[in-house]
Amino acid sequence: MTWESLLRKIDRLAGGRGAGERIAAAELAHAKTRRAFSWIWWLLGAELLLGVGAVATAAILVGSGSSVPVAVWMRTVVVLGMTLTLGYFAWRASLGWRWAYKRLRLFAQIFPVVTLVIAAIPGLYPGWMITEQIVFSLLMIGIGDFLTSDHMRWAFRHADSAPERAAS
């Protein structure tokens, strides 16, 4: 079994029936598509650093004798897991897999809302964690903004959904 065949099984699990759909090579190679993915990778990298920083902050607090609530530990683990999952989706979308683009776009639009609502629950998280959640949400909104641009929505459209557009 090759790596790609294993990844295709994961894709099928994550992407469902549409897991085999790829966008046209010309759309994938378009400068606007490449530029959008470049920004998305930078923002996901910032998300990863933010998540690792949150884990480090919690560990330092515990090491200095402070109490860190279970909710903080759960949040840090979940955010790192989400970020890694989004990284997988971004990687597969950057290879032209339509399902991955759709999942990445969906989660980039949902996660900020969920994160901000949870951050607003009084007393659930310490101030530093609330700040981390707000920054996380802003970065996710940035990712979502790139993914919902006119060009990206066009590039990752369903092949049967629209006639060809004029070159831009």
Task: Give me the pLDDT at residue 66, please.
Answer: 92
10-residue block means of pLDDT along the chain (168 residues)? 72 69 92 98 97 94 93 91 93 93 95 93 93 95 97 89 52
CA–CA dist 127, 111 (Å, integer): 20
| Number of other residues whose CB lies within 10 A of the CB of residue 140 | 26
Task: Give me the pLDDT at residue 167, please.
Answer: 47
Task: Give me the pLDDT at residue 131, please.
Answer: 95
